[in-house]
Amino acid sequence: MRKIEKILNAEREQLFAWVPVLFGVGIGVYFALPFEPSLWITLGLIEATIIVAYLFRYYPALLRVLAVVAIMLAGFTDIQLKTVYLKPKMPEVTEGNYYLRGQIEKKDTNYRGRPRIVLSNMENLNGEEIKGKYRLTILSKNKTLEVGKCVELVAEVAPVMKANLVGGYQPDRRLFFEGINGGGYVASGVFEIECSQNLSFWTRTVDRWRRKASEMIAEKLPAEEASVAAAIITGNRELMTQKQIEEYRDSGLAHFLSISGLHMSMLAGLMFFFVRLVMAFIPALSLRYNSKKTAAILALLISTIYLCISGAAVPTQRAYIMTFVVLLAVLFERQAISMRVLAIAAMIILVISPQMLVNISFQLSFAAVVGLVAFYERFGKRAESFLAGEHIGLVRKFLRGMLTYFVGIIIADLVASLATLPLIIYHFNRVALYTSITNCIAGPIIGFVIMPAILLVLLTIPLGLSWLPLKVAGWGIGWINDLTAWVSAQPHAVAEVYSFPLWGLLIIISGGLWLCLWHSRWRHLGWIAIICGFLSLCFVKVPDVVAGDGGKAVAVKNSSGKLQVFEGGNKWMKQNWMEKFASSNVDKEDIAEPDLSDIDFGKEIGVSIYGNKIKSVRDYIGYRPWNR
């Protein structure tokens, strides 16, 4: 016990990094429950913790344990209160065709590339208010789909899709916390009407900027280059073809299309470097003003502009918060890159949006950044000493800096890819086998050509001179497009793998955090957990039968041990099953469809059958406010 206390005292500075982890554990416990806990019980636990802390206030060891419990309880309470707040705003939706009037709050595309809108402030034909928000896919072509516009339409609306696989993805949970309680299709026209209330001036202005930027990109660049440029500048993927998206995914560069930490950090870093370089060449400025703080302020400004023009999607918001905290540390002359800074960013996000813990992009971005920061803390000083050098000329120092930047991009891609690999396997069941090679080639192009050009695009848009850097970005994007097309066409470019059991993934995450957050030798115990977590793949069993969508969607295990689906039912649901059990490329066999007449799908939602044992999706998810 004393030995552990001695180690913890030596790691005192690292203890704060565990605060968001413990807070997240509390959130995770809430989501893991198969029932909705009572607020009175939660209140009782809070009061009991306070009373025990008071009674044993002279016992430091016990108070430390209570502090751990209190942080987890805070996370649990935070997400529970958010659920209580949202529940009355999300009434259950009855399936049917409805006449709707409402305001377009958000616009994007679905997985097939079709335009999709989120409709809010809705009312029916009689002018009665409709609570909640509907996410509707538009099947016809409409040019009036602009954020903030009010429209009328006839839509086929249904409740959002519930979980359909034991241990699988819960789309209804994610949409619940986005305020969306219904979804469907609009086969007819969408007609613009007058708005009784407008979205904020800032929201409408930013959307107008984004549309104009997308139109300018489409006008100046060829279609294939413009589609990717629009995706990484404005966050608009409407111009991308399904083939392009698949090529980026199968080559391991899908992360380039999502505006996140990669783009935000590169843009802020380039602006920071550019400002300091300019000030170094102007003595009047560098002697009068602190170049580092000036560069941090202007880097923060360009990051804010990029956040707005990119649409401020959830991954971009997280990247901005992390960038903001880092630049704030520079302004207050604190260490900019550290686990403490990352922990502060994570706490800000989890306190404001606790549901982000189970969000895929949150997990991927923080896994990558935790791995990178841990790598920097371990090897960063060596790189700094190499860059500093002693008694070397300016030219050699510059060449060293360029070499370090080049090698750093390659190493960063490799570390981030390894850190996110378990999550990619769990969520997507696809591993791009050539991702390291692709990232090594694409990294310098992105870092030296595309992102610097995008920085110049943002700086020159007000001057009307953005066409030139946009052309340069287009050249770089063209090279990346060719690279992704070539890599994805190679044999065995992608391997389908079984998804980890949830307990296996949690063991890997625990091991990874243990390895990255501690500094002393006992951090290497994390490797044992990581290896044990990967071995959990040996315990994955393919169910004999999977059924959902009211019994209309059915899959059966064939003689090769893979799932084979039958006609009928939701196509996305069946594709999700096949990917989860690495069966997308299964050879079809002549198999009889099983008799499932004894199963009440209205109650069970979906089932997985293993021999004579039936596992119900409802037993897995329970009855919560988002899945009733």
DSSP label at 450? I
Q: How far apart are CA 442 and CA 271, in angstroms?
A: 21
Q: What is the 3-state secondary structure (H, E, C) of 238-299?
A: CCCCHHHHHHHHHHCCHHHHCCCHHHHHHHHHHHHHHHHHHHHCCHHHHHHCCHHHHHHHHH
Q: What is the DSSP string of 606-619?
A: -EEEETTEEEEHHH
**The pLDDT of residue 201:** 66
Q: How far apart are CA 68 and CA 64, in angstroms?
A: 6
**The pLDDT of residue 167:** 86
555 pairs with which residues across the strands? 546, 565
Kindly compute the dihedral angle of the four CA atoms of residues 324, 325, 329, 334, in this order, to the nearest 10 degrees: -160
Mean pLDDT for 288-306 is 86
Q: How far apart are CA 562 and CA 484, in angstroms?
A: 29
Q: How far apart are CA 549 and CA 553, in angstroms?
A: 6
Angle between helices 261-280 and 291-309 in degrees, nearest 10: 140
**The pLDDT of residue 386:** 56
Lowest mean pLDDT among 270-284, 363-377, 489-503: 270-284
Alpha helix positions (H), 314-431: 314-331, 339-352, 360-388, 394-428
Give the type of residue at 131. K
Contact 242, 427 (CB under 8 A): no
Provide the pLDDT confidence category of residue 486 given band limits of 50, 70 and 90.
very high
Mean pLDDT for 445-449 is 85
**The pLDDT of residue 351:** 94
**Six-digit token string for 358:** 């189970």
Angle between helices 467-488 and 435-445 in degrees, nearest 10: 170
**The pLDDT of residue 66:** 93
Residues 594-627: tens digit of each pLDDT: 888 888 877 778 889 898 888 998 888 888 999 8
**Six-digit token string for 35:** 């029932």
**The pLDDT of residue 483:** 92
Mean pLDDT for 117-132 is 87
Q: What is the 3-state secondary structure (H, E, C) of 13-57?
A: HHHHHHHHHHHHHHHHHHHHCCECCCHHHHHHHHHHHHHHHHHCC
Contact 153, 112 (CB under 8 A): no
Q: How far apart are CA 616 and CA 603, in angstroms?
A: 9
Position of tokens 């930013």?
206
Instruction: Give the whole-number percent of the chain exceeding pLDDT 90.
Output: 21
> 3-class SS at 234?
coil
Position of tokens 């296996």?
504
Q: How far apart are CA 224 and CA 235, in angstroms?
A: 15
Would residue 165 be called left, alpha or beta, if left means φ above 0 and alpha means ψ between -120 and 50 degrees? Answer: beta
Mean pLDDT for 141-153 is 78
Query: Which one is predicted more confidently, 287 or 372?
Result: 372
**The pLDDT of residue 276:** 83
Among residues 209, 196, 89, 72, the alpha carbon closest in space to that of 147 is found at 209
Residues 538-595: tens digit of each pLDDT: 888 889 999 988 888 899 988 888 888 888 888 888 888 888 888 887 778 788 888 8
Query: Which one is predicted more confidently, 255 or 200?
Result: 255
Among residues 584, 587, 577, the alpha carbon closest in space to that of 617 is found at 577
Residues 174-196: tens digit of each pLDDT: 999 989 999 999 877 888 888 76
Provide the pLDDT confidence category of residue 217 given band limits of 50, 70 and 90.
confident
pLDDT at 387 over 70: no
**The pLDDT of residue 464:** 77
Contact 131, 89 (CB under 8 A): yes
Angle between helices 314-331 and 339-352 in degrees, nearest 10: 140
CB atoms within 10 A of CB 9: 9
The two most distant CA atoms of the chain are separated, in Å, by 84
Looking at every residue in the chain, the average pLDDT score rounds to 85
Mean pLDDT for 485-490 is 90
Give the type of residue at 317. Q
Mean pLDDT for 342-359 is 90
Residues 41-91: tens digit of each pLDDT: 999 999 999 999 999 888 888 898 899 999 999 999 999 999 999 998 888
**The pLDDT of residue 394:** 62
Q: How far apart are CA 143 and CA 145, in angstroms?
A: 6
Q: How far apart are CA 521 and CA 380, in angstroms?
A: 18
Provide the pLDDT confidence category of residue 468 given band limits of 50, 70 and 90.
confident
